[in-house]
Amino acid sequence: MRSAGVLFAALFLLTACADRARVIVVPEAAELGTVVRTYVASLRAPTDEGWFGPERSETLSFAAVDVAIPPNHVDGKIRVNHRRADPSREFTVTGRQNYGDDGAFRRAISTALKAQSANERDVFIYVHGYNNSFLDGLFRTAQIKHDFDLPGLAVHYSWPSMANPLAYTYDRDSVLFARDGLEHMLKEVAAAGPRRIVLVGHSLGTMLVMETLRQIEIATPGWSDRVLGGVVLISPDLDVEVFKTQAHRMRHLPQPFAIFVSSRDRALQLSGRINGDGQRLGALTDASVLEELPVMLVDVSEFSAQEGGTRHFTVGTSPLLISLLSDSGALSDTFQSDQAGKSGLLPGTVITAKNATQLILSPLLLIN
């Protein structure tokens, strides 16, 4: 009976993952919600329906997908129905445009940037984490762009996660598989002529971000620092010592370089046990460990304490924290070329440890 129960649970998870891979297109949703155009580069193999599945592909695909955010959307919340989408209540896809090659992708981004005002020609690039389907990462990219009111364009790099909680090893291998694709996409976006590129990674996606920046640095020293206008690692599922090795390989880290952490992140607690080491970067709350690096450690543990579930994406799922960061203009204002006064843009307790800065945020900051 026990083995049968385990098998049933596994089959249930696999079925759920299959549903998560479904993409339902509802063109009329564009009339109800707010549409966020999201540019996509992916190394996922195509599904039978022509979208992007969990398998790996050696060909980097490019597209633009329009996402409608429902009129009753609450900041931080993504409601999805993988069987019958209701655009009045749920995130939906309204349309898609494929690009035949990297040149067409680059030209599309360049054209879209030129349509923006000169001071908003920015590109926000999101790299999703472990256990994400294509749709998971796509909707998260659109949600972050919308909820934080980020200027410019949104780009989603969709690497081939199995979207299965039992496939951690597959996802770890896919991170290594996807490095060249992310490098290629970054260089195409840079060639499109943005004013600033902000690169954001979440969970296991932060490993992909750091590995890619490291390999770019080896081939082209100083490229990341010259081209990127900011890097954000959210809940990084990354060994602290590995991160330090990756960072030290770079001549200069792109600035500003922010790491959102929480000691209450349940997913990272589990990851630490799985990996035989409790010290994950996303759970680090002592800036002195990174004192040689010019990074900003933003501790959101007190906001995580108010959340249920895994507490693995507090910066993007807590309405209170989104309100704090948005009202202070932190997520957009922090990404300026001048690093001076970086911690002053966010209200909180500031601790300095040589080159590193730690900022401790609390819900009490919202009480006048």
Q: Are 299 and 340 in contact (CB under 8 A)?
A: no
> Beta-strand (E) ranges in the chain?
34-46, 52-69, 92-99, 122-127, 153-158, 196-202, 230-234, 257-261, 296-299, 349-353, 356-360
Q: Read off the pLDDT of residues 214-264 as tens digits, 9 standing for 90 and up.
A: 999 999 999 999 999 999 999 999 999 999 999 999 989 999 999 999 998
pLDDT at 68: 98
Q: Read off the pLDDT of residues 146-178 as tens digits, 9 standing for 90 and up.
A: 999 999 999 999 999 999 999 999 999 999 999
Asked if residue 318 has pLDDT above 50, the reply is yes
Asked if residue 339 has pLDDT above 50, the reply is no
Q: Read off the pLDDT of residues 68-83 as tens digits, 9 standing for 90 and up.
A: 999 999 999 999 988 8
Asked if residue 343 has pLDDT above 80, the reply is no
CA 208 – CA 211 distance, rounded (Å)? 5
In terms of pTM, does the model score above 0.85? Answer: yes
Strands 122-127 and 196-202: what pairing?
A: parallel
- The CATH number corresponding to 2-366 among 2.30.31.70, 3.40.50.1820, 3.10.20.340, 3.40.50.11030 equals 3.40.50.1820
Asked if residue 17 has pLDDT above 70, the reply is no
Asked if residue 332 has pLDDT above 90, the reply is no
Asked if residue 1 has pLDDT above 50, the reply is no
Using CA atoms, how far residue 219 sits from 214, 222, 250, 300, in Å, is 9, 10, 11, 35
List the strands of the sheet with 296-299, edge to edge. Answer: 92-99, 52-69, 34-46, 153-158, 122-127, 196-202, 230-234, 257-261, 296-299, 356-360, 349-353
Q: Which of 133-147, 288-302, 307-321 has the lowest mean pLDDT?
A: 307-321
Q: Read off the pLDDT of residues 87-115 as tens digits, 9 standing for 90 and up.
A: 999 999 999 999 999 999 999 999 999 99
| Mean pLDDT, the chain, integer | 89
Neighbouring residues of 212: CB distance < 8 A, sequence distance ≥ 6: 179, 182, 183, 186
pLDDT at 251: 86
Q: Read off the pLDDT of residues 118-138 as tens digits, 9 standing for 90 and up.
A: 999 999 999 999 999 999 999
Q: Which of 6-20, 43-57, 325-339 has the lowest mean pLDDT?
A: 6-20
DSSP secondary structure of 61-75:
EEEEEEEEEPTT--T
Asked if residue 366 has pLDDT above 90, the reply is no
pLDDT at 284: 94
CA 24 – CA 273 distance, rounded (Å)? 37
**14 pLDDT tier (thresholds 50, 70, 90):** very low
CA 64 – CA 192 distance, rounded (Å)? 15
Reference 200, options 159, 146, 156, 147; nearest CA is 156
- Burial zone of 71 (CB within 10 Å; 0-12 exposed, 13-18 middle, 19+ buried): exposed
Angle between helices 179-191 and 205-219 (to 10 degrees): 70
CA 30 – CA 45 distance, rounded (Å)? 28
CA 25 – CA 63 distance, rounded (Å)? 15
Q: Which of 18-27, 34-43, 165-174, 196-205 has the lowest mean pLDDT?
A: 18-27
Cα dihedral across residues 328, 329, 334, 337: positive or negative: negative
Q: Read off the pLDDT of residues 200-209 as tens digits, 9 standing for 90 and up.
A: 999 999 999 9
pLDDT at 279: 83
Asked if residue 353 has pLDDT above 90, the reply is yes
